[in-house]
Amino acid sequence: MNRKWLALALALTVPAAVAQAQRKAKAGAAQSSASKPSARTVTVKTEPGAVVWVDEVRRGTTDAEGNLRLALAPGRRTLRVRAQGFAERTLPLLPAQKGLVAVRLVPTTDEAVLLFQRAESARERAGGNAEAVELYRKALELRPRFAEAHLGLARSLAAADDHDAALEQIAEARRDRPGYAEASAVEGRILRSSSDYEAALLSYERAVREARGFQPEAHTGAGLVYEETGRHEEAVASFRKAVAQLSDTEPVLYELLGRNLEKLERWKEAVAAYEKYLALAPEGPHASAINSIIDQLRRQAAEQEAQGPPVLE
């Protein structure tokens, strides 16, 4: 019997009220599926080697032809592009916008901006942190109220374990730019490095509020605090939020998620998280270790299912 006739036979054998309810449920599901927004892809076209942010989350660097392909979640987004020697540009991405997005950058002669850009490049280069500190300070001499330079300097000072000086720069950045979510997230990271966990959580929570919910760096940082303090359920919730906001661009989040699910003995979910990590980063730094334990976790999941739920007396 084909599916059409099978469906007709079932409809004739159930009460009319049930059949009507089933039709409504199917119609609702179809409508929900049709109205559910799907991910989209945009290709940013600009200067070669430009850094690209979406909603203040760094998403990568353009190639030698100036292209960077991005998978974006539905909704309105903000695109920010910066290239050495050019003025930074920010523009909106409309909810339905996809395909090629051309971003024309204008050269700049602003010495403070050029020093800041050189500092950013130095900070990201291996062994360039000390040079970055010097360049940030020179940029701030020319423009004392420069929130991004204060934040960059804070990152460099934190990398050198000068946490007190780093927090001073965070305060300067927040003075220059109130409601600076990224600064609050970096503050949380510095406080976590100092083992001031409660203060770190407050900074991460503020970052999320300032970003109106979209702050994956803060969600990740909070997850690490929860993990380090043994609050694994809360860690899982925070890492899941970060995963949802980063659209699978950071495989390490699945490793963090799996690690905490292991602590909770939720073996099946841990396996799923680790498998996602391997799918996204088959040659990742921890792929070999994850491959070695995933079979063991599968066995533990099977044993857990075989035992069934605990019997309540």
Cα 38–chain centre separation: 18
Q: How many CB atoms lie within 10 A of CB 230?
A: 9
Report the number of distinct structural domains present in the chain: 3
> Does the residue 163 lie in any domain?
yes
Q: Would you state the pLDDT for residue 72?
A: 84
Q: Would you state the pLDDT for residue 303?
A: 82
Q: Are residues 125 and 166 in the same domain?
A: yes
What is d(CA 245, CA 239) in angstroms, rounded to the nearest whole number? 10
What is d(CA 49, CA 113) in angstroms, rounded to the nearest whole number? 17
Q: Are residues 258 and 276 in the same domain?
A: yes
Among 178, 211, 229, identify where a domain stops: 178
CATH number at residue 163: 1.25.40.10
Report which of 303, 252, 305, 241 is spatially closest to residue 277, judged by C-alpha positions: 252
> Does the residue 191 lie in any domain?
no
Q: Are residues 118 and 90 in the same domain?
A: no
Q: Would you state the pLDDT for residue 6?
A: 33
pTM (2 d.p.): 0.79
> Does the residue 155 lie in any domain?
yes
What is d(CA 110, CA 23) in angstroms, rounded to the nearest whole number? 65
Going residue by residue through the chain, which has 313 residues, state the pLDDT in tens, using 9 for 90 and above.
333 333 333 333 333 433 343 444 344 444 444 444 456 889 999 999 999 998 888 889 999 999 999 988 778 889 999 999 999 999 999 988 889 999 999 999 999 999 999 999 999 999 999 999 999 999 999 999 999 999 999 999 999 999 999 999 999 999 999 999 999 999 999 999 999 999 999 999 999 999 999 999 999 999 999 999 999 999 999 999 999 988 777 899 999 999 999 999 999 999 999 999 999 999 988 888 898 888 888 888 888 777 766 555 5
CATH number at residue 80: 2.60.40.10
Q: How many CB atoms lie within 10 A of CB 281?
A: 17
Q: Are residues 77 and 130 in the same domain?
A: no
What is d(CA 264, CA 240) in angstroms, rounded to the nearest whole number? 15
Residue-number span of the structural domain to which 58 is assigned:
40-102
> Does the residue 89 lie in any domain?
yes
Report which of 128, 82, 75 is spatially closest to residue 103, judged by C-alpha positions: 82
Please name the residue that has the structure tokens 């940013």.
44
What is d(CA 68, CA 118) in angstroms, rounded to the nearest whole number? 22
Neighbouring-strand partners of residue 61 = 51
